[in-house]
Amino acid sequence: MTKPAVAWFQSLTESVFALGAAARELRMANDAARVAAWSVDQHRLLPVNGELNVPENPFFRPHDAAVYQLGNAYRQLENCTKRLYENTALAYAHGAAAAALAVLRGERPHRAELQREKGQYTLPATGLPDPTGLLGGWNGGPRLVELRRVLLQRQDEADAAREEPRCGADEFVVGLADAAYAFGEQAESALHFALMTTSRNDEETW
């Protein structure tokens, strides 16, 4: 049995939605990892004073050892999910904006297109697509413009922080992921507007 053909606009919206869904999963995972790391913070937990006799370590404290090991594991997980969330949120921002721009230009792409290498999305060297000039009177346009401005600012801040590490540099990275996701979400709305506009124009030409 052959698989029924899917209209280009359906596969395109599914493609962009899947990018957003991936970013949401990773955002929730990063939040969970951060809470897990906080839950075993040695400065927050009450000490458990029991000790063991262990060869070469006669005053071994098993609770301290467990908390330390868990803290390391959760911090590694948090760092991993943070990087994945940032990369996927940026991919969502680029993919959704590029899809909206393509439709507004009269193209009919079947899917968002992005490069991947070693488990990470590789973002286009051409920079963040900008569909705002083709959105006409869409009431979501001003918000898209503002979110794009914030995202570009966060990218500049993150680049500067990575080039010159300093206290609090990770906060710029977290801000970048959230800004990228917010822009991607609004760009996905712009894609739906572009598709509705295209549909109306097609009907008028029939």
Give the pLDDT confidence score for residue 14 in this predicted structure: 97
Per-residue model confidence (pLDDT) at position 1: 46
Q: What is the pLDDT of residues 104-159, one digit of tens each?
A: 999 999 999 999 999 999 999 889 999 999 998 899 999 999 999 999 999 998 88
Q: What is the mean pLDDT of residues 2-24?
A: 88
pLDDT-derived band at 199 (thresholds 50, 70, 90) equals low
This prediction has a pTM of: 0.86
Residue 205 pLDDT: 40
Residue 201, pLDDT score = 54
Q: What percent of the chain has pLDDT over 70?
A: 88
Between residues 1 and 127, which one has the greater pLDDT? 127
The DSSP annotation for the chain comes to -PPPP--HHHHHHHHHHHHHHHHHHHHHHHHHHHHHHHHT-TTTSPP----EEETTEEEE-HHHHHHHHHHHHHHHHHHHHHHHHHHHHHHHHHHHHHHHHHHHTT---SS---EEETTEEE--TT-S---GGG-TT-TTHHHHHHHHHHHHHHHHHHHHHHHS--TTHHHHHHHHHHHHHHHHHHHHHHHHHHHHHHHHHHHHH-
